[in-house]
Structure 1
Amino acid sequence: PVLDVSHPWNPTLCVLLCLLLSLRGNTFETHIIGGREANRNSHPYMVSLQKAGTHLCGGVLVHQQWVLTAAHCLVQPKELLRLVLGIHVLGDPSLTCHIREVVLHPDYKPPPHLENDLALLKLDGKVKPSRTIRPLDLPRGHRAVAAGARCSVAGWGLTHQGGKLAKALRELDVRVMDARMCNNSRYWHGDITPRMMCLEANSSNQGPCKGDSGGPVVCSRGHVAGILSFSSKACTDIFKLAAVAPIRPLAWEPPYAIGMALAWEPPYAIGMAPPKKLINLKK
């Protein structure tokens, strides 16, 4: 879903670099306005988080048994939710998985703050990589994505304000905006924290919107840079910049699950204290 905030922003436009914002309501939504239909099987890591067959949010497969999404998408009990993998068009034959475990970022702040808007979802079994289902790499380094970097986002969110969800997966080219510019009085007016990242589309009539929350932000090196979190209510107005929860918390060294542990805490984000919590992706 997409998030409706008290600011003129729309909480569904977040990327793995989860930009957080405040909202009103119980669900978050984001969708791709503008952009283009993605080529079939070009995003085999994309996941649709659904309830009763209805798409709520995006997600990204980061391991054979783990999906990364936006924490704000998880307002429903996990027993009511399903993860749908291997689809291009909503409703296509797919692999549908139950959620065994939900791990929220330990410093997640729910609406209206939406900071550290990240969650790991453990599948009820390991998926077998194929042409239509394949994990996307997490970042290996500790370096933040630089302002001006070109990235892409994808999702099944609304294709126009007030419209319906996209049937086929859509993608949009975006770039990372300088944090100071994003936070000035013209845009977010100081609401973007150091743990968020701003994205902007190439055109004023493009942007993520309702239903796109939880989807990955993928940059030049082909890994998850962040998770879509929120954007303006109108999705394409002057506040169109989407907020993302950055992903810079990976520990690739043993003994953490043979180099596959996800660390939520610094120093992987802005070099502070050592990680407080590691999620062993091999369990």
Structure 2
Amino acid sequence: MFHFGVSYPFIIFHICLHVEIYTSHICPRVHTYIWCFIYFTDERTFYYLVTFKITNIKYKEKYGRKTSREFVERSRQIERMVRLIIFRQSSHKGRYIKCHVIKLSPDKDGVKVLVLFLFRYPSSIGETRIKKKIGNTLYQALKNKNFSLAISNPSIKITRCGIRTTASSLPLTLASTTDRIVMGTTAALTGEWPWQASLQLKDSGHQCGGSLISNTWIVTAAHCFQKTKNPTQWIVTFGTTIIPPLRKQNVDTIIVHEKYNNITHENDIALMQLAENVEYSNEIQRVCLPESYIKLPPHTSVFVTGFGSVVDDGPTQNVLHQARVEIISTDVCNRTDVYNGLIKKGMLCAGFMEGKVDACKGDSGGPLVYPDHHDIWYLIGIVSWGESCALPKRPGVYTQVTQYRNWINSKIGV
């Protein structure tokens, strides 16, 4: 499942030795000494979202309401099973913090369960080692133990990307998101869009958005690098504000698609490698990449984010904005009264035919994302081009990420 770490302030542990020394056995005089050893440990919390099916119970309609007695009781049963049986008998004893059932949904074989797991480990232990350790434990424990609730082995899935979290470490759901960007307001919560990056030229500030797809790589638009492809001229920042940034990174490598056409906007995609790996946290996290076969139907709700203008030709915004838009079919987008055949393979239209809500200048390269039924978020588009902002019959045009999964994988192995 998905993991990210949250660094805590240094925690101080005191270990004290109380020693009494007698100077004479006849007339004892006692000197008491106390030595205290102070240890500092920087611990981090690691999160995993796990989905699995329970096959020996049937779904009830009231499971769909988290306030219902049925949801609460079933969730407590699942959490108790995990807490008492799985982790108290594993090597994670003392490291396991808690689990929390996020969602129960119907399945033909029973009930689908989405659970958030939390662990705490010292930062000195490598992330790769912890991922492997926790992942192996989850798989083996869920597969091999005998439970009163029967878990389907093939259904176990551990996700390590696409989670939006609140400050309390619980995932944000679709309901927390509202219409933003043009004709909207700012992103409300820290951690709401943790993969959002601001791509900036050192001498002229914010230029484009980008999406974190690993702890090293960002995907963005090729047209963002028309001024310069020199990585030493660029920096990347994370967080919901440009100033001050949550984190600032230098850039090591820029890869622009070899067949990018700045006239037709075809192949408008690029990759940017950070000079140092970013450390995941509640506020910084990678988005999931969709499988190449994924195709969202028209009218599907998707979300675009960025620091761009909220009106046509307006200034860059210091605070991150967001907007809900809808997928528009290529057939509609290519009508003579819309873009008249300009939408090519590898492009995706999203917005509203009546306009009003849209990405705008400065949002280029940023993410267009959608949630699956478990509220795991996937990058479906990259802000590419459009005629002005939020005009009727002029929706935003995005690079269709599913069409470039093989290209991304060939360049960086993701």
TM-score, normalising length: structure 2: 0.52
Residue 102 of structure 1 pairs with residue 254 of structure 2: yes
CA RMSD of aligned residues (A): 2.1
Give, as a single letter, the amino acid of the residue that structure 2 aligns with 1:48: S
Deviations 1:180-210 (CA, angstroms, capped at 9, x unpaired): 1100011100011122110114852221110
Give distance in 2, aligned partners of 1:264 and 1:214. 17
Structure with greater helix share of residues: 2
Residue 200 of structure 1 pairs with residue 351 of structure 2: yes
Deviations 1:144-182 (CA, angstroms, capped at 9, x unpaired): 222221100000000112322122111000111011110
Give, as a single letter, the amino acid of the residue that structure 2 aligns with 1:45: W
Give distance in 1, aligned partners of 2:267 and 2:278. 27
Contact 2:187 2:320 in 1 (8 A): yes
Deviations 1:189-233 (CA, angstroms, capped at 9, x unpaired): 001112211011485222111000001110132100010101112
**Of residues 82, 98, 113 in structure 1, which corresponds to 2:235?**
82
Residue 33 of structure 1 pairs with residue 182 of structure 2: yes
Give, as a single letter, the amino acid of the residue that structure 2 aligns with 1:225: I
Give distance in 2, aligned partners of 1:202 and 1:186. 11
Structure 1 residue runs of 4+, over 4 Å off? none
Structure 1 window deviating more from structure 2 (186-195 vs 73-82): it is 73-82
**Of residues 402, 406, 410 in structure 2, which corresponds to 1:248?**
402
SS at match of 1:248: helix
Alignment correspondent of 1:236: 390
**Of residues 190, 202, 210 in structure 2, which corresponds to 1:59?**
210
Give, as a single letter, the amino acid of the residue that structure 1 aligns with 2:183: G
Alignment correspondent of 1:13: none
Give distance in 1, aligned partners of 2:403 and 2:250. 26
**Of residues 379, 390, 393 in structure 2, which corresponds to 1:224?**
379
Residue 140 of structure 1 pairs with residue 254 of structure 2: no
C-alpha change, 1:166 and 1:203, in structure 2 (3 Å) is farther
Give, as a single letter, the amino acid of the residue that structure 2 aligns with 1:247: V
**Of residues 395, 406, 409 in structure 2, which corresponds to 1:263?**
406
**Of residues 314, 317, 330 in structure 2, which corresponds to 1:163?**
314
Give, as a single letter, the amino acid of the residue that structure 1 aligns with 2:237: V
Contact 1:207 1:240 in 2 (8 A): no
Deviations 1:107-147 (CA, angstroms, capped at 9, x unpaired): 322x2111111111111111110011111111135222222
Give distance in 1, aligned partners of 2:254 and 2:182. 30
Deviations 1:230-268 (CA, angstroms, capped at 9, x unpaired): 1112x1223431111111157xxxxxxxxxxx5218xxx
Structure 1 window deviating more from structure 2 (58-67 vs 202-211): it is 202-211
Alignment correspondent of 2:29: none
Report the alpha carbon displacement of residue 37 of structure 1 after superposing the two structures with TM.
1.4
Give, as a single letter, the amino acid of the residue that structure 1 aligns with 2:398: V
Matched residue count: 227
Give distance in 1, aligned partners of 2:231 and 2:265. 20
Contact 1:50 1:57 in 2 (8 A): yes
Contact 2:355 2:395 in 1 (8 A): no
Among all aligned residue pairs of Structure 1 and Structure 2, give the percentage whose two residues are the same amino acid: 26
Give distance in 1, aligned partners of 2:181 and 2:191. 18
Alignment correspondent of 1:175: 326
